[in-house]
Structure 1
Amino acid sequence: MRIGFTMPQYGPVANRPAELVRFAAEAERLGADALWVGDRLLSPLEPKVGYGMAGPGPFPPQFATVFDPFTALTLAATATSRVRLGTNVLNAPFYSPVPLARTLTSIDRASGGRLVAGFGVGWSPDEYEAAGVPFAERGRRLDEILDVLEKAWTADVVEHDSPLWRVPPSRIDHKPAKRPPIQLGGFAPAALRRIGRRADGWLTAGALPNGLKAENLEPPLAAIRRAAEEAGRDPSAIEVVLRVNPRRGVSTQEIAEATLAVHERIGLAEALVELSYLAPETDHALEVVAELLALLR
C-alpha cells in the first residue's frame, strides 16, 4: 500500500507558497509515495449545499484561501524527483478539455511522468455558477472531457465534435511520455459505472472519527467491479485509493488503525491523508507525515 498526503494548499498557509515547496521536498525525503492537491473555487457565505464534513451551513474556513492546484503541482514537481503527483480531485467540468490537456501534459512533463490525473464532478452548485458551467451537465461534461483527454494524449490526429466542444482535426504533439493514470471519484450509481467502464482507479474517502468503515466501501466497490466486467475490463486492475479525512484532534494511531482495517478488508493501492484540518501548519503536518509513515509501514 502506497502512502500519500495532501499538500498545504488550504487556509492561511496557501498564501505562503514557499511552505508548499518545503513540505513537498521534506515529505518526499521522509518517504511519502505521493502528494495530492484538491480543487476549490470559493467559499460562499450562504451555500446552497453545505460541505460534507461540516454538515449543513458554511464551508470550512480553510476554503476561503485556496492555492491553485495546477501551480501547486508545478511547484511540487520542481521540488521533488520521486513522488507521484496527483489531483484528488480536480473538478473537471470547470474546465475546457483542450487547455486542460495542455496544462496537465506540461505538469506531467515537468515532473518526469509522475502525474496522476484524478477527476470528479464536485458537489457545490455555487462553484458551478461561479465557473459559468451548468450544474446539471457535470456528468456529461466529465464524460466528454475524458474523451478529449484520451485523444489529446494518445492520438496522432485529435478530433472531437459535439454540442459542447468541437476540436477540428488537429495535431497536438505536446503529449505525456506515457498516458497518465486516470482516477475518478464518486459514489453515485452513474459515477460508479463510469469508474468501472473507463478509470484506472477509484478515489474514495472516509472521515475520522466514525466515518471510515470498510463495510461502507464494499457495496460501491462491488458495483464498480460489475461495471468493469460488463465493459470487458479486468476488475482487479482498477486501483482503490482511499482519502482519509481526519478532523482536528484525531491521533495518528487512530488514523493508522482505521486505514489498516480498511486495507485488510478491501485491499488498497494507496491511502492518502488529508492534513488541512488535522495539521494546517507545515511543521506540524510534517510531524504527522513522519509519524504515519512509521505506523503504516
Structure 2
Amino acid sequence: MLADLRFGLNLTRLEDRLAWIGKCRRAEDLGYDVITVPDHLGMPSPFPACLLTAEVTTHVQVGTFVSNTAFYPPALFARDVVSTQAFTGGRLETGLGAGWKKRDFDEAGVLFESADRRVDRLEMTLQELDRARTTAVTAGQPDPVGPLMVGGNGDRVLRLAAGHAAIVSFAGTRFDPAGRGMIYQTAERLDERVALVDAAVSAAQRERPEYNVIVLRTQVVDDRQTALEEYAAFLGGSFTPRQVGELPAVLIGSPEKMADQVLARRERFGITYVTVQEAALEAFAKVISLLR
C-alpha cells in the first residue's frame, strides 16, 4: 500500500453482539485500518462500541467519528477517553466535533446553543484532554489520550484542529445553523478549507496533521457518466455531472476509477485518510485492494 494512505469504515447500525463482531472482523480482514462510530441518537453508543470492536479484532484502530462535545462535561468526556484508550491497549483515535444535528439535542434534552457556544465546548474539551496528556507525560507516564481527530468546516473549528489535532477531518457537507439543509462541499471550497488549516498549522509551527474526508456516497458502476448524471438530477441540479464527480464526499465509478479519485484527492488536497460508510464495506474494499 502507498505508505501514507489509510482507510476507515464508519459503522452506524446497532444490531446484536454477533452481528457487530462479524462486521468488525470482516472489515479488518478486508484491509480497513480504522473502524469508527458516530455520535448520534439511534446509533450505537461510541465508547462501548469502540471497546467491543477492539476486543474482537487484532490490529485495527478504533474511534469516534466524531463525538459531539456539546453533549458532555469536558472532564467526564476526558475520563471516557482515557479509560477507553487504556482498555483498548492504545488503539483509540478520538474524533471530536462541535455538534450540528438539532434533533439529537432535542431528543437528548440538551439545549441546542449557538454555534459559537458549541465551539466553546469543543475548545474546553480539547484543553481538558491536553491537560490529561500533559499531566501524565510530566509524571513520566505514557500518553493516556492518544491521537485526536477534529472534524468540521467553520474557520474556528478548523483553527482549533490545526492547533490540537493529529487528524483533521474536513466536512464533506455543510448545514444551516439549525442543523438542516445538507449541501455537499465543492472541490474549490475544500481547497480553501485546506489552505486555512495549512496556514494555521504553519503559524503554530506544528507538523501538518493527517487530512481526512468521510465519503457519504460510494457507488460502484461501470457507466460512470450515466451515474453522475443521475446523481446530479437527484441533487436537484445543484451541481453539473462534472462537479458531482469532483465532490470530495462522493466516489462513483469502477473500483479502478475510485482508486484514481483517491490518489487525485491525495495530490490536490493532501487527503491521505479516507473513511466510508457502513453500506460501502464490501464495495470500497475493492478499492483498498488496488492501493495495497
Name the TM tier (shorter chain): 0.7 to 0.9
Question: Relative to 1, partners in 2 of residues 1:225 and 1:178: Cα closer, same or farther, differing over 3 Å?
Answer: same
Question: Relative to 1, partners in 2 of residues 1:252 and 1:183: Cα closer, same or farther, differing over 3 Å?
Answer: farther
Q: Deviations over 1:127-153 (max 9, x none)?
A: 223342442221111111111122123
Contact 1:246 1:275 in 2 (8 A): no
- The 2-side partners of 1:289 and 1:258 are apart by 12
> Is 1:21 aligned with 2:35?
no
Q: Which residue of 2 aligns with 1:257?
A: 260
1:135 to 113, 116, 128: 113
1:154 to 134, 153, 161: 134
Q: Which residue of 1 aligns with 2:94?
A: 117
Q: Deviations over 1:29-80 (max 9, x none)?
A: 2322111111112xxxxxxxxxxxxxxxxxxxxxxx4111111111101011
- Describe the SS at the equivalent of 1:135: coil
- The 2-side partners of 1:252 and 1:216 are apart by 26
2:202 to 229, 238, 247: 229
Contact 2:132 2:145 in 1 (8 A): no
Q: Which residue of 2 aligns with 1:55?
A: none
User: What residue ranges of structure 2 are gaps of 5+ in the alignment?
Assistant: 174-182, 221-251
Q: How many residues in Structure 1 have an aligned counterpart in Structure 2?
A: 244
Q: Which residue of 1 aligns with 2:291?
A: 296
- The 2-side partners of 1:125 and 1:217 are apart by 25
Letter in 2 for 1:152: A
Contact 1:93 1:133 in 2 (8 A): no
- The 1-side partners of 2:52 and 2:148 are apart by 21
Q: Which runs of 4+ in 1 moved over 6 A?
A: none
Q: Deviations over 1:69-103 (max 9, x none)?
A: 11111110101121111211111111112221222
Compute the TM-score of the two structures, normalised by the length of structure 1: 0.72
Contact 2:215 2:275 in 1 (8 A): yes
> Is 1:88 aligned with 2:73?
no
Compute the TM-score of the two structures, normalised by the length of structure 2: 0.74
Identity %: 29
> Is 1:184 aligned with 2:156?
no
Question: Relative to 1, partners in 2 of residues 1:178 and 1:145: Cα closer, same or farther, differing over 3 Å?
Answer: closer
